[in-house]
Amino acid sequence: MSDQIMATGSTLGTGKVAVSNGFLWRRRLKDRIARVILFSAAGVSVFITAAIVYILVSESLTFFGVVSIVDFLTDTEWTPLFTKARYGVLPLLTATLVVSGIALLVAVPAGTVLAVYLSEYAPPKLRESIKPVLELLGGVPTVVYGYFALLFVTPLLQTFMPGLSGFNMLAPGLVMGIMILPYVVSVSEDAMRAVPDSLREGAYALGFSRFHTGLRVIIPGALSGITAAYILGMSRAVGETMVVAIAAGQNPNLTLNPTEGAATMTAYIVQVSLGDLPHGSIGYQTIFAVGLTLFVITLLFNIAGFWLRRRFREEY
């Protein structure tokens, strides 16, 4: 009888070990599958980025084999499709920075104030109602923003500025500021909400009002995230295509006056891409040189944002 009991216990123990081993094997298999899927996703993103860089650099090298890079960066005229071609990218670069600067002048103060309100003042129900509305702005097609700038904002500005051109950099800059506002507000508000409540309670204990708490405690504590929001908005504004292509004009014009029309880098790329220039020609390869310039500018903004985030994290 005792032998039968021992045999039964041994069988049950062996069964439990087998079930446990099977469970561990399935869990390890799932972990490996998840690791492979995640690694593949990361690898695809890296591969796509490397392919984009390779195409831009290889085509741009062909272009710079014919056109001097010094002339490209310093010449003040951009007429690559004319008989007497000039390849100075400064007019396109200036227009891009002017429009993006106007957009930031709208989005940065408005986005920061709205983020502080949502983080420190707004009741939870109101906050949950406002944030989806802001995120809807990010889902509006940029073509709609472009025609809104051309057909509504520009005539509205002309009532106050009679000499304003039909194609100008001011209207698309203002509209782009509204367009990137959700990015600035969302990222900034998330960064402010991540500030520990103990800092708020300490500020209130010292007699700070909500305004002074937000200004002197919350914003410095979330400055790395707020800076990331600004850099994200700037990168989004620099790379915007349809708004400036529709409302800013397509005439390369070296000017800092926002009331005049000018072609940005993205607008020029659209203009040439829709044309009939043969592939491999110098005129067609200009879009890759301009695209590489735009890529480098965006990269510099991201590097600056990373540096600022790391610096402010060390300070605060």
Give pLDDT tens digits for 98-134.
999 999 999 999 988 888 888 888 888 888 888 788 8
Spell out the residues 6+ positions from residue 41 whose beta carbon is closer than 8 angstroms to its own.
none
Residue 8: pLDDT over 60: no
Q: How far is CA 209 from the centre of its chain?
A: 34
* Residue type, position 314, single letter: E
Give pLDDT tens digits for 130-187.
878 887 877 788 888 988 998 899 999 988 888 888 888 999 999 999 988 888 888 8
8 Å CB contact between 231 and 302:
yes
Whole-structure pTM value = 0.81
Query: Torsions phi, psi of 78, nearest 5?
Result: -125, 95
Burial of 132 (0-12, 13-18, 19+ CB in 10 A): exposed
If we measure between CA atoms, which residue out of 55, 61, 63, 69 comes closest to residue 281? 63
What pLDDT is stored for residue 263 in this prediction? Answer: 86
Radius of gyration (C-alpha) of the chain in whole angstroms: 28
8 Å CB contact between 230 and 304:
no
Residue 199: pLDDT over 60: yes
Give pLDDT tens digits for 227-286.
888 888 888 888 888 888 888 888 888 888 888 888 888 888 888 877 667 777 788 888
What pLDDT is stored for residue 174 in this prediction? Answer: 92
In the structure encoding, which two tokens stand for residue 148, read together?
Answer: 């809104």
Q: Where are the beta strands (DSSP E) in the chain?
A: none
8 Å CB contact between 292 and 56:
yes
